Structure 1
Amino acid sequence: MSSGSLRRTKVRSGYAVGVTLLVVSAITFSTTGIFTKGVEAGAWAVIFWRGVFAAAVTTVWVAKRGAVRPEFSGMGKPGLAVGVIGAFGTAALIPAFKLTTVANVALIYASAPFIAAFMAWVTLGERVSRRTALGAVGSLTGVGIIVAGSVGDVNLTGDGLALIMTLVMATIMVIYRARPDTPSAGPSVLQSLLLVPLALLFGSPLQIDPAEIAILAAFGVMHAIASVTLAEGAKRVPSGQTALLGALETPLAPILALLILSEVPPNATLIGGGIVLIAVLLSIGGEAAPLEDLSDEGQDP
């Protein structure tokens, strides 16, 4: 096999792994609303216990891999930025779920492709393929349908916080795309730990029901999985498509809310969510060709 063929195979393999990780991340993140609204504890209590358990699980995972030094001391400025910015996002996301519907938070997050792609274009000069651009248009169409069906029922404070989280996630995706050597676990732990003292200051996390602490412990584990798979996947897939794959959360989150919380989304949410899902799936194939083209550079004639 020629060196060009080997390189092409490696690129394809890395891309496939990235897509898989991002899909796992989206599915896991889609449970956030279920955990947050499934307990009576306030937003700061949720942030505290999720952060404690997520940080603990992630640290144990890093230690078992023997990667404590590169993940924590090797974070550098990009890793510190991810941790600090991510903390702002978490502080916005949890109360957003408490103040508005799961469907509304999910649909607002679906606007991340446009933000991430625009940021990557401005800061990195990263080209967005035609199919990814069309996928973004399809995603916007789906979001528009959902928003139209939610007029009059939207909690503006909750939706505003969801928008802040969307901006944060788009920024993190671009940081990892620009600096793929940035560790993923270390910044995730930092993000959680930065909020622990604030949660103790503004909330009463030590006074909640022990049964709810157990639920939030599971939440922390799921968050650890979602954060690591998102960061690792974003290193292997272009920013625009990374955000589009994250939009898989849009149809999944309301479905879970319906099945578990009996939160019934309107028909517009179901229709719009289906359109977003189709747009995401169609966009996946659009990025494979550019990656393969890159692998042909320098190939033996």
Structure 2
Amino acid sequence: MNGRTYGILLVSIATVMWSSAGLFVRLLGLDTWTTLGWRSLFGGLTLLVISLYQNRRPTPAGTKHAIGLYLFAGFIAGLSMFGYIGALKFTSVANVLAIYATTPFICAGIAFLWMRERAERRVLIASGIALIGVLVVVGFAARFDDLAGNGLALLMTVSFAYLLIFARRHPALKLAPVNAVGSGLCLLLSLPLMSHQIPPPSELAILAVFGSTTSGLAYLLFMTGSRHIQAAEAGLIGLTDIVLGPLWVYLAFGENPGMPTTIGGALILFSVVWYMWGRLRAARALSRQRLKSAA
């Protein structure tokens, strides 16, 4: 498996994990901040265990980074995690989705300014189609006067996009401790707002799975996979979260997503499938060309 395929696989798995968040939220009877706090706690513990496992071997010479680099990256990760839940608290889901849909474009812009990486034309076209799909999903009902919620949604999107480029810029940076610091920061920010009563054992079990997958493994897999593909491409694949989330809730609870979500989701899926099909054809053509050259 080549590096590009490996990256696409990891990013896709992470996106599927993220899309399960709606299922966990439906199973829990907790408020937003309490859910976020416990999710961050279990996600951080999962990443801490992974970090300790990764550090069981001596770090190769020349790959050690200053503690400040990890704290900075962790701070950015924490802003992204907190901004997402905060945005949902202060504005509509429609607003958050509309702003989040700009992720591929923001990734492409940061990558060009910082690394002079030009996004492929096919990525930008597919991202544009996906953006139209998201606008259909929200039904053009976004309330752009909700400045606090919009600001948090933009903060979440920009910080997440920046973190993707940051991980590529520093390939020796270990991502598990970075996201562990982010989860810890998110927990600290949630503490004043969350309930301090311990949930019942059944909800604690759900929170443990919720945190370890969507806040722990998903972030780690996505950040690791994004190192092997273009940042805009990773952002495009991540948009399928918008489609898969309502789908899982519909299959599990029979919650009808509605016609706008169905039509917009189809557009988003089409954009990703169209892009991936083009990449697959290009890879096959290159493989055949190499075989002919070898012969």
**TM-score band, normalised by shorter chain:** 0.7 to 0.9
Q: Which residue number corresponds to residue 258 of structure 1?
A: 250
Q: Secondary structure at the match of 1:132?
A: helix
Q: Which moved more, 1:279-288 or 1:195-204?
A: 279-288
Counterpart check, 1:196 vs 2:187? yes
8 Å CA contact retained: 2:105, 2:127: yes
Cα pair distance change 1:38/1:30, threshold 3 Å = same
Change (3 A) 1:204 1:138: same
What is the TM-score when the length of structure 2 is the normalising length? Answer: 0.82
Aligned twin of 2:216 = 224
CA distance in 2, matches of 1:94, 1:261: 23
Superimposed CA distance per residue, residues 54-82 of structure 1 (whole angstroms, 9 cap, x where no aligned partner): 12222222333445875997465543332
Counterpart check, 1:278 vs 2:270: yes
RMSD over aligned CA atoms reads 3.3
Counterparts of residues 68-147 of structure 1 (less than 5 Å):
74=65, 76-97=67-88, 105-106=96-97, 108-147=99-138
> Normalization by structure 1: what TM-score?
0.80
Distance 1:216 1:154, change over 3 A: farther
Taking a change above 3 Å as real, the CA distance of residues 154 and 29 of structure 1, as seen in their structure-2 partners, is farther
> Offset at 1:117?
0.9
Q: Any unmatched runs of 5+ in structure 2?
A: none
Matching residue within 247, 254, 260 for 1:268: 260
Conserved? CA contact 1:24–1:229, under 8 Å: yes
Give the counterpart letter for 2:141 in structure 1. Answer: V
- Give distance in 2, aligned partners of 1:53 and 1:47: 10
Report the counterpart of residue 51 of structure 2 in structure 1.
62
Q: Count how many residue pairs are aligned between Structure 1 and Structure 2.
A: 283
CA contact (8 A) 2:24 2:206 kept: yes
Q: CA–CA distance in 1 between the matches of 2:250 and 2:256?
A: 5
1:151 aligns with 2:151: no
Matches within 5 A, 1:28-43: 28-43=17-32
Alpha-carbon separation, structure 2, partners of 1:150 and 1:257: 23
Contact 2:13 2:218 in 1 (8 A): yes
| Alpha-carbon distance in 1 for matches of 2:199, 2:15 | 29
Contact 1:38 1:261 in 2 (8 A): no
1:238 corresponds in structure 2 to 230
Closer/same/farther in 2, CA of residues 263 and 165 from structure 1, 3 Å limit: farther
* C-alpha separation in 1, matches of 2:38 and 2:158: 24
CA contact (8 A) 1:79 1:187 kept: yes
CA separation in 2, counterparts of 1:100 and 1:259? 27
Measured in 1, the distance between the counterparts of 2:80 and 2:246 equals 20
Alpha-carbon offset, residue 41 of structure 1: 1.9
Q: Is contact 1:44-1:205 (8 Å) kept?
A: no
Contact (CA 8 Å) 2:137, 2:265: kept in 1 or not?
yes
Structure 1 residue 150: Cα displacement: 5.1
Q: Which amino acid aligns with 1:203?
A: M
Give aligned-pair identity as a percent: 28
